[in-house]
A and B are shown apart, each in its own frame.
Chain A
Amino acid sequence: MISIRDLHKSFDGNHVLRGVNLEVDQGETMVVIGRSGCGKSVLLKHIIGLMKPDRGNIVVDGRDVTRMDKQELNELRKTFGMVFQSAALFDSLTVAENVGFGLRRFTTMSEEEIAAKVAEKLELVGMSGAQTLYPAQLSGGMKKRAGLARALAMGPQIVLYDEPTTGIDPVLATSINELVRDLNTRLGVTSVVVTHDMASANTVGDRIAMLHEGVIRCVATPDEIMTSDDPVCRLFVRGGAEEPIESGGSEYV
């Protein structure tokens, strides 16, 4: 479904991705873990074509994202949903307008149908009745859920989550984890989740990949990674502090 091959990316001489290789199967939830600033979000932005790599390819459904022109990329993006770390809701639009953004632009649905779809997606994320609110009136957790509803509105085949549970309370984090899991099992949505929350990674992930020093250090199921022989993986997943993880943690998130 998604095949990342030898992906390299540098920012002002800082070599953030140094040959990432990763395969994500159809219907799978792949969790990418790693320290803050290790390039997880950069990897996610490459998958959806927001960034161009210095070298390497990303193949989605047999098509190379890195070689697509603007129009092809936009067609592909209609099959994607992305949940941003900061929610990235359009602050001049209401929650309903945010969630219905894609539906209004790319479908022939009537306003009533769009309103019904928006209500359905908001209910899914536990935000019924928030249609008329503006992003400035929402709490951090509500923004994140509204962002999730927007990502799901068009019925995407692939959903990319950038730190979906960061900055929200444990109860809400659990419900978002269940939602991600549910989308995967019920609708067969392929997901790539970037997080450093191990509880979330273990709950939602079919497999977990650890990004460390610009490469994928290990890929394993949640159970396997907990008993990994790799010292870096073991240290990260257990949150231990016996030895420091040497990494060029940078501002590139």
Chain B
Amino acid sequence: MTSLLESLGSFSLDLFQRIGELWLLFVRTVGYCRQALANRRLILLQMVEIGVNTVPLVAIMALFTGMVIAVQTGYQAVRFHLEGMVGPIVGLSMTRELGPVMTGVIVAGRVGAAIAAQVGTMKVTEQIDALETLATDPVEYLVMPRFVAAVIMLPVLTVCADIVGIAGGLVIAVTQLDRDPRLFMTGTFRAMEVSDVLSGLVKSAFFGMIVAIIGCYQGLTATGGAEGVGKSTTRAVVLSLMLILVSDFFLTVLILGGKP
């Protein structure tokens, strides 16, 4: 019983310590955002890595997600002669939910892992120490550029996902449901409001913060050699995915004003 309590206490202490460290890293990173202009070259490099290089993956994901929503809704809609609803359902699903969440998931897998691995390798090979001896705070040089780049590029990627996803829905509507493309697009845009797109973009910016901060935190706390970096990378991906899905629920409730 004592041993169980000890384990529980130790686990709780460790958990609160990690939450505290993560929060401190977030606060320091936000503080360094004032130096964003001076570090614009680093931010641009990260924007290419996080954003531009992820476009193909996001596009493929969005295309097939849009197509599968169209197939699923089309299958039901035909039974009730509601084919006109396919466009609005694809559009709203993509912009409000699937676009930002699926983009967040893809970026957490691809970019979150890369960030944790890069920073973790720097940590275990003393490159982080070397940065500090050169009077450079790793939070300013490594974390802030990735954070800013992720917060900017996640919404951009989400816009790409929204467009490609709706295009995927259009392909299915035209080829499988014999819908007129112009009617499909008109119906889709009529059902959507600017706030639908904006809510998705706000969510995606938030997911960008999660991926960058978790990836950097796991990298900066990596210990040991290659094995330690591997574990940090795995933790970064798993934790980012969990936080994206959990925060998505709360953000959705918040954006909808607490009403389902």
Q: Are B134 and A77 in contact (CB under 8 A)?
A: yes
Which of these binds chain B: A84-92, A111-119, A122-130, A167-175?
A84-92
A150: chain B residues within 8 A (beta carbon) = 134
- Bound: A155/B106 CA distance, A: 46
Q: A50-B132, A77-B132 are in contact. Are A70 and B126 (CB under 8 A)?
A: no
Q: Are B137 and A74 in contact (CB under 8 A)?
A: yes
Least Cβ–Cβ distance between A192 and chain B, in angstroms: 13
B125 sits at the interface (CB 8 A): yes
Least Cβ–Cβ distance between B143 and chain A, in angstroms: 14
B136 sits at the interface (CB 8 A): yes
Q: Are A90 and B129 in contact (CB under 8 A)?
A: no
A37-76 contact mask (Cβ, 8 Å, vs B): 1 or 0: 0000000010011100000000000000000001000110
Least Cβ–Cβ distance between B226 and chain A, in angstroms: 14
Q: Residue on A with the closest CB to B39? A: A105
Q: Are B135 and A88 in contact (CB under 8 A)?
A: no
Main secondary structure of the interface of B (DSSP, over half): helix
Q: Are B133 and A77 in contact (CB under 8 A)?
A: yes
A101 sits at the interface (CB 8 A): yes
B13 sits at the interface (CB 8 A): no
Q: Are B127 and A91 in contact (CB under 8 A)?
A: yes
- Chain B interface size band reads 10 to 19
Least Cβ–Cβ distance between A50 and chain B, in angstroms: 5
Q: A86-B125, A88-B126 are in contact. Are A80 and B137 (CB under 8 A)?
A: no
Q: Residue on A with the closest CB to B126? A: A88
- Bound: A82/B130 CA distance, A: 8
Q: Are A74 and B129 in contact (CB under 8 A)?
A: no
Residue in contact with A105 in the complex, picked from B125, B132, B136, CB distance below 8 Å: B136
- Bound: A192/B17 CA distance, A: 36
B118: chain A residues within 8 A (beta carbon) = 92
Q: Residue on B with the closest CB to A78? A: B135
A110-151 contact mask (Cβ, 8 Å, vs B): 1 or 0: 000000000000000000000000000000000000000010
A84: chain B residues within 8 A (beta carbon) = 126, 129-130
A102 sits at the interface (CB 8 A): yes
B113-146 contact mask (Cβ, 8 Å, vs A): 1 or 0: 0000010011001110111111111000000000
Which 6 A-B pairs rank lowest in CB-CB distance, beginning with the nearest?
A88-B130, A88-B126, A74-B135, A77-B135, A82-B133, A78-B135
Other than the known A49-B132, A84-B129, A101-B136, what 4 A-B pairs have Cβ atoms closer than 8 Å? Answer: A74-B136, A90-B127, A102-B135, A105-B134
Give A residues with C-beta under 8 Å from B: 45, 48-50, 70, 74-75, 77-78, 80-82, 84-86, 88-92, 101-102, 105-106, 150
6 A-B contacts (beta carbon < 8 Å): A74-B135, A81-B133, A82-B130, A84-B129, A88-B126, A102-B135
